[in-house]
Amino acid sequence: MKVLVSGATGFIGQQVVPFLQGLGRCRILASARDEAKLQELGADYVVYDLNQEPHDCYERLGRPEVLIHLAWEGLPHYQESFHLDRNLVNHYRFLQSMIAQGLPSLTVTGTCYEYGLHNGCLPEETAPNPTTCYGLAKDVLRRRLEALQQQHPFRLRWLRLFFLYGPGQPERTLMAKVDQALDTGQETFDMSGGEQLRDYLSVTEVAALIAKVALQPRYDGIFNICSGQPISVRRLVEEHIAARGGRLRLNLGVFPYPAHEPLAFWGDPSRLRLAVAAFEEEQHHAAHP
């Protein structure tokens, strides 16, 4: 199976590509704009800027059977209007062209920010109500792709990712800052109150889940990519410090809770489990025909 991974050099893409390579049954093509980073992946690649005119994009990108679309520009800056003015417009134009030119199966990474300020356990049917330009752009992109399915019968898997940590995490993220504090021998660490409940997975787990949902043959639609296990941010940080055998006194309450996030929310992974089971079943049949 020919699989194209857009945004392959990013935090998540760098883990998706090796997972796909490990399966041993995919021809993988990675794409992004920075050729030096693409070379480091050790996969076939095409340098491609999706802001350019997409008239022959499907051909140039190797006529894949599956596109795992991870690319997105300008993260985080969640409230900046470029998510709507530029990203939404250009990503839809690119994806629409790929589909019109023959792409049969598309998997796109959305975000839990599409849900907005709902608290509690969130199944995929929860009405989206984004409060950030980023969440709104992703939600509108999904709706436009669903409308496009009326014209072109392609398979669409829309993945709402929750929170991630792990190798390659951007320096701005909480867990990267905890690691920096431990690495530099700081004694204290300033953070929020830490009582907010979140749904975290390691980036390696998320990458495997993205690939499994994209490649399984049975289920389309929206999937939460989540653990289903809420954890307080304070406990997450404390467990990480303990796992590293470090010592760091937490200065809780220095920073306010983010206004664009509810205090306690996590994903319902029921649909995700069905898709993963369908993937495992197919893997088993491929190994034992």
Ligand X SMILES: NC(=O)c1ccc[n+]([C@@H]2O[C@H](COP(=O)([O-])OP(=O)(O)OC[C@H]3O[C@@H](n4cnc5c(N)ncnc54)[C@H](OP(=O)(O)O)[C@@H]3O)[C@@H](O)[C@H]2O)c1
- Distance between CA atoms of residues 138 and 160, nearest Å: 10
Pick from 1, 21, 22, 34: which binds ligand X (CB under 6 A)?
34
Exactly one of 13, 116, 135, 230 binds ligand X (CB under 6 A); that residue is: 13
Q: Which amino acid is at 144?
A: R
> CB of 116 within 8 A of CB of 131?
yes
Distance CA 47, CA 7 (A): 10
CA nearest to 219, candidates 100, 138, 287, 124:
124
Nearer Cβ to ligand X (196/249): 196
Stretch of 64-72, 187-195, 243-251, 257-265 lying at the interface with ligand X (CB under 6 A): 64-72
Structure tokens at 131: 């409060």
How far is 265 from 96, CA to CA, in rounded Å? 33
User: Would you count residue 54 as binding ligand X (CB under 6 A)?
Assistant: no
Per CB under 6 A, the segment of 67-75, 114-122, 179-187, 260-268 that binds ligand X is 67-75
Question: Does 64 engage in binding with ligand X (CB under 6 A)?
Answer: no
Determine the interface stretch with ligand X among 70-78, 125-133, 235-243, 270-278 (rule: CB under 6 A). Answer: 70-78
Parallel, antiparallel, or unpaired for β 66-69 and 105-111? parallel
Could you give the string, one character per residue 101-140, with x where binding to ligand X holds by CB under 6 A and - elsewhere?
--------x-x-----------------------------
Contact yes or no for 222/284 (Cβ under 8 A): no
Residue 86 touches ligand X, criterion: CB under 6 A: no
Element (H, E) at 94: helix 89-100
Q: Which is nearer to ligand X, 51 or 96 (CB)?
A: 51
Q: Cβ closer to ligand X: 75 or 252?
A: 75
Which one of residues 10, 54, 130, 194 is an interface residue with ligand X (CB under 6 A)?
Answer: 10
- Closer to ligand X by Cβ: residue 72 or 158: 72
Q: Which stretch binds ligand X (CB under 6 A): 68-76, 125-133, 140-148, 176-184?
A: 68-76
On whether the CB atoms of residues 9 and 34 are closer than 8 A, the answer is: yes
- CA 21, 24, 29: angle at the middle one, nearest 5? 45
Cross-strand bridge partners of residue 46: 31
Q: Provide the binding-site residues for ligand X, judged by CB under 6 A.
A: 6-13, 32-34, 37, 48-51, 70-73, 75, 109, 111, 161, 164
